[in-house]
A and B are shown apart, each in its own frame.
Chain A
Amino acid sequence: MFLQQLVNGLTIGVIYALIALGYTMVYGILKMVNFAHGDIFMFGSFLGLFFMKHLHMPLYLAFLLSAAATSAIGVVIERVAYRPLRTADRIVPLISALGVSTFLVSLAQKLWGTEMHPFPTAFGRGTVTVGSITFSEIQILILVLSFILMLGLHLFVTRTKTGTAMRATSMSLTNAALMGINTNHMISLAFAIGSALAACAGIMVGIYYNAVYPTMGYMAGINAFTAAVLGGIGSIPGAMLGGILLGVVENLGGAYISTQYQSVISFTILIIVLMIRPTGILGKKDINKV
């Protein structure tokens, strides 16, 4: 049972990680929590569903198009709802983000209705048994694809010029601008990448649970945000680690203590970690610029 629960935990953990990356990248640059990110994840899921159900596209195409469309949505949201408020007090964009979140949920409810939709794919129903562990196809897809996406992001951020520019921007917006980096582009890019990852997570969750619905971003968003804080918000490897850790702890806690206390256990861990390391596991100390 332990190994099976570990697999279950890893599956949901990498999903948390993918969503957490969106929170952490935006926070890293703008020091702002994009509370609409969970709902962007929901939109990605719905768009994937739309491409498959109504336009009868294959799964891989749904992934690509939904990721593209969702990243466009993310960029537009930043442009419309956050950029005009960039110089405002920190609380202002936060409220704006809550507004965007409500807007996206209501829009989804108008467009697709309030009910749960099944994902129209036969993929993921089959299972593979290795010893005492049963993997479903979708679990394998989630684990493999998430790993590829995270590795890709890591290579992009550490090995490319644009990635370096993005890291520079997250270190200091002003200094990066002085070095000739177009920081607005970098911010848009962070939103685009974060939203695309969330869209992929959204589709995978949609298939995994066979359920897509307008309020699905709420809990997913909270958990992913927690994962980002646990790993150290602003840190990309931190978000990955935090997500996986949270998923595994939640599942093992549920398995060996009680499922009723699943959230209690994960949040207790969060509190303990924050007490010992206020910046999260891999977070760096924020140097306050005067």
Chain B
Amino acid sequence: MKKTGSILASIALAASLLAGCSANGGKQDADGAIQIGLAAPISGTQAQYGEAFKNGAELAAKQVNDAGGIDGKKVKIVIQDDKGDPHEAVNVANKFVTDKDILAVVGHFNSSATLATAPIYNKNKIVEISPSSSAPAVTNAGEYTFRVITTDAFQAAYLADWSKELGYRKVALIYEQSDFGLGLLDVYKEAAPKNNIEIVAAESYNPGDKDFSTVLTKIKEKQPDAIFIGGFYNEAALIAQQAQKLGLKTDYIGVDSLYSEALLELGGDAVENMKLIGFFYPGGDNEEATKFAEAYQTAYNSKPDTYAAYAYVATSVVIEAIKHNGADREKIKEYLKTLHDYKGPTGVLSFDENGDVVTTPERLTIRNGAFELYQ
């Protein structure tokens, strides 16, 4: 009796396992979701940008799914954590390219990771579209590498022109020791002489550094008209605050990486009047930006930063490509090559022959603790 019982039990178990298998298999066939990879620093020192990526990309997918998906199929964002580390990014890229269901990859966050993974994506002929890697080197990373952010070269040159208009003669640079920061430094330095700007100091820091008192004490001696912060908003807020504590009074300029509510929150009155280039500015003339900001607010109960907006745009153009050209890796690339004047929250964009975005920035400043168009 006992024996029969155990045999029955094992048959039941086996049956349920088999049933489980077929149920899973069936499910996958039935919904056949359209899968887009998202490679983002979900953990590690850049985790907060990873979170912005995730929110932006998932919002784009959700909006399409709520509207019925693509030909009735849902869009699914498959997230892999690259920890913001180029080594880890390579592992992530290898995982994505070998998964045939992944049609394109949105990512990576930092330029170092994007550059490290570009050969893998290009060899396997799958689109890698970075929301945020702005290092000039990404231009030549391959024909499957796209980005929706302008190059640092473009932004730094634009900023040099603007610095001249603002009447700056002596500018100090504080830049991040990375492909990103060095890219900004090189271009700004080169553009400075023809704009009558003297670079009085160029000091670097490592991503994640918190103490800028040494650098700022050095810079204070040089009495610059402005400090160009070639880094991210967290460091920009720290720099402005620590400068205030050291009694250093100067202007600050920067690129779109500074655009975030966190800059205002962390920086307080120290970041007042900071001038920066922005592509994503809700509340201005760009209706898409305002709509996106509202949808984001509803979905996450917080204000989106630049990176959430870029991730949203990058995911949206991939979705557009699939809508128009079908769920095929190669055809997505073909579509992006011809994409022209796409209207999104970060402005009207097209891609040039290198996969670089072509768009016009806005000039922003901070007044009374809020971002405003600079006039």
Contact (Cβ within 8 A) A262 B214: yes
Contact (Cβ within 8 A) B238 A209: yes
Contact (Cβ within 8 A) A118 B247: no
Contacts of B211 in A (CB 8 A): 8, 12, 209
B22: CB under 8 A from chain A? no
Contact (Cβ within 8 A) A210 B237: yes
A164: CB under 8 A from chain B? no
Per-position contact with A for B154-195: 1 when CB-CB < 8 Å, else 0? 000000000000000000000001000000000000000000
Question: Roughly how many angstroms separate A106 CA and B47 CA in the complex, as a whole number?
Answer: 11
A288: CB under 8 A from chain B? no
> How many Å from the CB of A129 to the closest CB on chain B?
7
A125: CB under 8 A from chain B? yes
Contact (Cβ within 8 A) A129 B247: yes
Question: Roughly how many angstroms separate A101 CA and B274 CA in the complex, as a whole number?
Answer: 37
For window 230-258 of chain B, which residues contact chain A by CB distance below 8 Å? Answer: 234, 237-238, 241-242, 244-247
Question: Roughly how many angstroms separate A124 CA and B244 CA in the complex, as a whole number?
Answer: 11
The CB with the most chain A CB atoms within 10 A, among B177, B208, B241, is that of B241
Contact (Cβ within 8 A) A116 B234: yes
A251: CB under 8 A from chain B? yes
Contact (Cβ within 8 A) A1 B246: no
By beta carbon, the residue of chain B nearest A2 is B217
B244 touches which of A1, A109, A125 (Cβ 8 Å)? A125
Contact (Cβ within 8 A) A210 B241: yes
How many A residues have CB within 8 A of the partner chain? 40
> How many Å from the CB of B9 to the closest CB on chain A?
38
A5: CB under 8 A from chain B? yes
Question: Roughly how many angstroms separate A106 CA and B44 CA in the complex, as a whole number?
Answer: 10
Question: Roughly how many angstroms separate A213 CA and B47 CA in the complex, as a whole number?
Answer: 11
A215: CB under 8 A from chain B? yes
Contact (Cβ within 8 A) A1 B217: yes
B32: CB under 8 A from chain A? no
B203: CB under 8 A from chain A? yes
**Given the known A-B contacts A118-B268, A215-B44, A259-B215, are A127 and B234 also in contact in the complex, defined by CB atoms under 8 Å?**
no
**Given the known A-B contacts A114-B51, A134-B247, A209-B211, are A259 and B266 also in contact in the complex, defined by CB atoms under 8 Å?**
no
Question: Roughly how many angstroms separate A11 CA and B210 CA in the complex, as a whole number?
Answer: 13
Contacts of B209 in A (CB 8 A): 219
> How many Å from the CB of B240 to the closest CB on chain A?
10
Contacts of B244 in A (CB 8 A): 125
A138: CB under 8 A from chain B? yes
A136: CB under 8 A from chain B? yes
B262 touches which of A109, A115, A138, A262 (Cβ 8 Å)? A115
A61: CB under 8 A from chain B? no
Contacts of B16 in A (CB 8 A): none
Q: Across chains A and B, which 9 residue pairs bring their CB atoms closest together, nearest first?
A: A114-B47, A136-B245, A254-B214, A8-B213, A115-B48, A114-B48, A134-B247, A209-B210, A118-B266
Q: Other CB < 8 Å A-B pairs besides A116-B234, A254-B215, 10 of them? A: A1-B221, A5-B214, A8-B214, A109-B47, A129-B247, A211-B266, A215-B44, A251-B213, A262-B214, A263-B206
- A/B interface sample: 24 pairs, CB < 8 A: A1-B217, A4-B217, A5-B217, A8-B217, A12-B213, A109-B43, A109-B47, A114-B50, A116-B48, A118-B268, A134-B245, A209-B210, A209-B211, A209-B242, A210-B237, A210-B238, A211-B237, A211-B266, A215-B47, A218-B45, A219-B208, A219-B209, A254-B215, A255-B218
